[in-house]
Amino acid sequence: MGQEVSAVPETTKPENLSERSLPAVADYIKSGKARKVVVLTGAGISTAAGIPDFRSPETGLYANLAALELEEPEDVFSLPFFKENPKPFYVLAKDLYPGKFHPTISHVFISLLATKGLLYQLFTQNIDCLERAAGVPADLIVEAHGSFASQRCIDCKTPYPDDKMREHVSRAEVPHCEKCNGLVKPDIVFFHENLPSLFFDRRHMAEEADLILVLGTSLTVHPFAGLPDLAPFEVPRVLFNMERVGSLGSQPDDVLVLGDCDTGVRQLASALGWREELEAEWRKLVGDEEADRQLEGSSKRQVELHDEVSQLVHDVDKVLHVHDVSSSGSSSPSPEAVAEKEPIAATQQEVQQNESASVKESVETTTTTLTEEVKVSGA
Ligand code: OAD
């Protein structure tokens, strides 16, 4: 946990850090060289809060949905599928809707960076709004894949009232437009939809960063996945993740902190002399009971996540079954059968994406819509 490793040859000296380690990153920040910290987050930052990520083999949403009768598990977040059958999305939305979950210490660390005037911009792929809940100022956040904060008709684009949306989501019911009866969808970016313009307006801030922190993301979805590569070569980049991802670890000032991101963040906070303040802020925000729950052994949290995701998959399976029976008469596997199925491993495509991402040119991407495909320059 929180183990620092480097893929750069030992003999290659970093340019800005005294060495590739968290204490050296802390010294770099304390020396005042990091005034523009850009933070990039993904679903892994929220797993300790009880929200499943997408691609972890045991507990990831897609990994488990793969057992169902969906062509691709990602279909739940695709517009053509949604138009055809919006129910599975709303079943997931009921469980993932903001309000149920509490920030982790990693979310609060980002807020602390903002309090100390060091956070230049946070780019998050998450739709759980936990960075806001942790107190990160709204003007420092780019929700690159949208959020549940607003919703509208997919046909006439008329906004739909928040209170009615909340009611529908709490019952996993599909809301319809009050004007044209079209389907209502939260302003979450589905595959092949455009990212919010704010993402493109602020993307240059990653180029201007003097420190990049990447937390809890597989960096498989573009154009977000290209952000770490926009920073100049000598800018220190720190990865807090279970696994090495993207091109992180290939540059002399990259520090890889592999393991649970909360552990890594605590180590950095200790090295900065911020640990006490961080823990106190977090406990004040989430309360002792939730803090202790999140701190329980990671194996217990894994079991909780596993139960959560099994229940979600079961619920999605139920609505797919209803849909299948009415349309084609085919049946879905029982929840027990689903639970017994082997979780999928990372696809070959994802592996290639990670490898491709290490090629610097690949980040000169023209991608404007959410996609799992890497688009190289000029493609
Ligand atoms: P993924 O599920 O693809 O990746 C999560 C990463 O976090 C993986 O590398 C995990 O190993 C790691 N991880 C999980 N728990 C962790 C923990 N406690 N500490 C450290 N690392 C941990 O999630 P994203 O990269 O966020 O899009 O996925 C990107 C996009 O794919 C999402 O925004 C979503 C999905 O399709 C939409 O829904 C629009």
Encode pLDDT of 118-146 as tens digits: 999 999 999 999 999 999 999 999 999 99
DSSP string, 332-357: PPPHHHHHHSPPP---HHHHHHHHHH
Amino acid 73: pLDDT:
81
Residue 217 among known ligand-binding residues: yes
Q: Is 77 in the pocket of ligand 1 (CB under 6 A)?
A: yes
Q: Is 112 in the pocket of ligand 1 (CB under 6 A)?
A: no
Amino acid 352: pLDDT:
35
CA 206 to chain centre: 17
Contact 50, 287 (CB under 8 A): no
pLDDT at 81 over 60: yes
The model's pTM is: 0.85
Amino acid 322: pLDDT:
63
| Distance from C-alpha of 308 to C-alpha of 85, rounded to nearest angstrom | 23
- H helices of 66-104, in order, are 79-84, 87-96
Residue 53 among known ligand-binding residues: yes
Ligand 1 pocket test, candidate residues 54, 188, 300, most atoms within 8 A of CB: 54
Mean pLDDT score, 170-174: 92
Mean pLDDT score, 284-311: 87
Residue nearest to atom 22 of ligand 1 (CA): 44
Q: Which conformational region is residue 144 in: left (phi greater than 0), alpha (psi within -120 to 50 degrees), or beta?
A: alpha
How far does residue 324's CA lie from ligand 1's centre (Å)? Answer: 30
Q: Is 62 in the pocket of ligand 1 (CB under 6 A)?
A: no
Q: Is 346 in the pocket of ligand 1 (CB under 6 A)?
A: no
Nearest to 40 by CA among 141, 169, 176: 141
The two tokens of residue 181 are 């009866």
pLDDT at 69 over 90: no
Mean pLDDT score, 336-363: 33
105-115 and 275-286 helices, crossing angle to 10°: 120
Q: Is 146 in the pocket of ligand 1 (CB under 6 A)?
A: no
How far does residue 287's CA lie from ligand 1's centre (Å)? Answer: 26
Contact 219, 354 (CB under 8 A): yes
How far does residue 331's CA lie from ligand 1's centre (Å)? Answer: 31
288-295 and 275-286 helices, crossing angle to 10°: 120
Q: Which atom number of ligand 1 is nearest to the Cα of residue 189?
A: 39
Contact 182, 176 (CB under 8 A): yes
Mean pLDDT score, 244-250: 95
pLDDT tens-digit series, residues 193-224:
899 999 999 999 999 999 999 999 999 999 99
How far does residue 43's CA lie from ligand 1's centre (Å)? Answer: 4
User: DSSP code of 190?
Assistant: P
Quickly state the pLDDT bin for 337 (edges 50, 70, 90).
Answer: very low
| Distance from C-alpha of 365 to C-alpha of 362, rounded to nearest angstrom | 6
Does 223 sit behind a cis peptide bond, omega within 30 degrees of 0 on the bond before it? yes
Catalytic residues: 145
Q: Is 189 in the pocket of ligand 1 (CB under 6 A)?
A: yes
Amino acid 378: pLDDT:
27
Quickly state the pLDDT bin for 367 (edges 50, 70, 90).
Answer: low
pLDDT at 355 over 90: no
